[in-house]
Amino acid sequence: MNKVLLFNPRSARTKPRIPNSILSVAAVIEGFYEYAIVDGNLETDPWTKINSYLATGEFKFFGCTCMPGPQLRQAIPISKQIREQYPEVRIIWGGYFPSNQPKVVLHSGFVDFIVNGPGEKCFPALLKALETGDNWTTIPNLIYKGEQGIVKTGKDELYDQDALPSLPYETLNNFYPLKRYLGKTYLGTRTIAYHSSMGCPFKCSFCAVVPIYNARWRGKSAQLIYEDIKYLKDQHGGNAIEFHDNNFFVSEKRTVEFSKLIQPENMIWWGEGRIDTIDKYSDKSLEIMRESGCKMIFFGAETGNDEILAKMDKGGTQSSAQIRAFAGRMAKFDIIPEYSFVLGTPADTPEQVMKQIDQDIAFIKEIKSINPKTEIIIYLYSPVPTEGSDLYKKVLESGFHFPEKLEDWISPHWENFDLRKNPLTPWLTPEMIDKIKDFETVLNSYYPTVSDIRLSAFKRGIMRSLSAVRYKTGLYWKPYELKVLQLLWKYRQPEIEGF
């Protein structure tokens, strides 16, 4: 038999989320191929489970989703072991990492194909071609190694999300109790992870989504989103929602319609959006969103420097003035803006890099003075291979390059690179990195994230008191006393661990 084994590598130490990427391809092969799901987040030793399936000789295809960072730690060695022990099994990867790094993945010798973007049509078409011996070179959204090198087939349209089959939640429940995916978070005691759209209509030069979707977006209707959420609430007890879309709020009409539908369910929800998009929403729309349970929204503020914002090619109209004003506007509606900043972008001289870091630190403090409830997330600039962008050209000129061997991506420093915590970039000196991280420690102590539900009011008070002088005077250097407390109390950073 030609069964399919679908693998979701571990992505977090705690609080596993519903594996939506695996379920999306499972949905389109349901009824055509028998399949099994292995989730590395819920297995102590996923290889043992995977090996038990492959040893039956019934599984001919291995599909693995792979984001940059922690998922590589399981995806790479397990795929390599499959190739060594079961060479007849075809190994297919999908996700942001292989789509953005196809050469290093395919040259490894243990990945046969990459699904480049949405796999709802590509994946089953590829399975059929491999089964029948048909030509796969015309299948869209596919990357493979040909006689002349790496081959990328054409991009397919973004599919009508309402026309796609529903995710097979009950099939997943047969492999792993779905209630194990509905964890306790800042939003609720049983939080649903949901994906309602594909892509993003903007072309930020630092974003891994851009090379895959090329400024395209398509969303599921508000009615179908509501029906899915309602099902997960009624059948499995979900009481809060994390929307993991790259940009949930593209359509004000869709957002408002969903907000009206979900309001009677009394569910708290969170999503990702753009400042310049939601700032165009009417006050009435924002009121409806908040009344429906929208408690926090993640925004890429990036920097307070308008020149760098232009280089980032975010599109739209976002500016430092708008970032400031929008933080104040969100306070009026009691919606917490979660601003992420990217510090350490490349510049012509080290002095310019350091100056920009200092300016962004000052800008972050200004935002907190405007709206103290604003959540701040700090990333170190990590290059994304967006060809043609000014930022990436400057990155290449600096001598930076990605690993040339797939296994090198799971070394500790490169794994942290993918989490934007260890940049490995030539233009950032140890002094610059220390300044950013020391400020982050002081900031997180003076304004601890509300999303750390384990941190008591007493602990928050101690951290704020101990960090007050440092925060107010700018003495961020070597805050060892604060680092000890954060380590002792296992301070949670949402940019690494989620809520």
Specify the DSSP element, H or E, that contains 295: strand 294-302
C-alpha 385: how far from its chain's center? Answer: 17
Q: What is the pLDDT of residue 119?
A: 94
Domain 3-152 has CATH 3.40.50.2300: yes
Q: What is the pLDDT of residue 401?
A: 75
Q: What is the pLDDT of residue 247?
A: 93
User: Model pTM greater than 0.85?
Assistant: yes
Ranges in the chain annotated CATH 3.40.50.2300: 3-152
Q: What is the pLDDT of residue 494?
A: 73
C-alpha 436: how far from its chain's center? Answer: 22
Which residue reads 């803006």 in tokens? 337
Beginning with the edge strand found earlier in the chain, give each strand of the sheet holding 240-243 in spatial order.
191-194, 240-243, 268-273, 294-302, 336-343, 375-380
Q: What is the pLDDT of residue 395?
A: 65
CATH of 185-497, one of 2.30.30.240, 3.40.50.720, 3.60.110.10, 3.80.30.20: 3.80.30.20
Q: What is the pLDDT of residue 384?
A: 63
- Decide: 249 and 271 in contact? Cβ < 8 Å: yes
The CA distance from 299 to 312, in Å, is 15
Instruction: Work out the pLDDT band at 345, boundaries 50, 70, 90.
Output: confident
The CA distance from 57 to 51, in Å, is 10
Q: What is the pLDDT of residues 47-62, one digit of tens each?
A: 999 999 999 999 999 9
Ranges in the chain annotated CATH 3.80.30.20: 185-497
Closest CA to 303 of 370, 355, 371, 351: 355
Instruction: Work out the pLDDT band at 427, boundaries 50, 70, 90.
Output: confident
The CA distance from 276 to 247, in Å, is 12
Q: What is the pLDDT of residue 498?
A: 59
Instruction: Reply yes or no on whether the pLDDT at 373 is more than 80.
Output: yes
The CA distance from 118 to 156, in Å, is 9
Q: What is the pLDDT of residue 148?
A: 86
Q: What is the pLDDT of residues 79-119, one digit of tens each?
A: 999 999 999 999 999 998 999 889 999 999 999 999 999 99
CB atoms within 10 A of CB 349: 9
Closest CA to 131 of 64, 50, 32: 32
What is the rounded average pLDDT of the residues 325-330? 97
The CA distance from 494 to 455, in Å, is 13
What is the rounded average pLDDT of the residues 29-47? 96
Instruction: Reply yes or no on whether the pLDDT at 349 is more than 80.
Output: yes
Instruction: Reply yes or no on whether the pLDDT at 385 is more than 70.
Output: no
Q: What is the pLDDT of residues 465-490, one digit of tens each?
A: 999 999 999 999 999 999 999 999 99
Q: What is the pLDDT of residues 290-310, one digit of tens each?
A: 999 999 999 999 999 998 888
Helices 252-262 and 222-236 cross at an angle (nearest 10°) of: 30
Beta bridge partners of 35: 4
Instruction: Reply yes or no on whether the pLDDT at 328 is more than 90.
Output: yes
